[in-house]
Amino acid sequence: MPDRTCIGCRAVLDKGLMVRLAAVEGRAVPDLGGKLGGRGVYVCSEKCLREACKRKDAFQRALKTKVEQPEPEAIWEKVRATGLKG
């Protein structure tokens, strides 16, 4: 699989080891099935998601569209529910 850069820690990892977030209706949502289209950002851990959320407009810049500031707890709860990470 191709490598991707984590938006939180900037580590370059195989995208299969990361969680993709995509812009959907003005929100950054986890793309757990890999089916959402458009630009996406990747995080390698809950810690990195929290770090990225602390940076002003990090998701808007990376996704190149206006999105609400993500709620790290809500996003990672969805990730844990799938058993993928966490």
**Per-residue pLDDT tens over the stretch 30-47:** 998 888 988 999 999 999
pTM greater than 0.75: yes
Q: What is the pLDDT of residue 21?
A: 95
**Per-residue pLDDT band at 84 (split at 50, 70, 90):** low
User: CA quadruple 52, 18, 23, 63: dihedral positive or negative?
Assistant: positive
What is the domain count for the chain? 1
**Per-residue pLDDT band at 81 (split at 50, 70, 90):** confident
Q: What is the arrangement of strands in the sheet containing 19-24, beginning at the earlier edge strand?
A: 27-30, 19-24, 40-43
Identify the CATH number of the domain in which residue 28 sits: 3.30.1230.10
Distance CA 73, CA 75 (A): 6
DSSP 8-state assignment for residue 65: S
Determine the average pLDDT of the residues in 56-65. Answer: 92
Domain that holds residue 37: 3-82
Closest CA to 28 of 64, 81, 2: 64
Tokens of 15: 């995208």
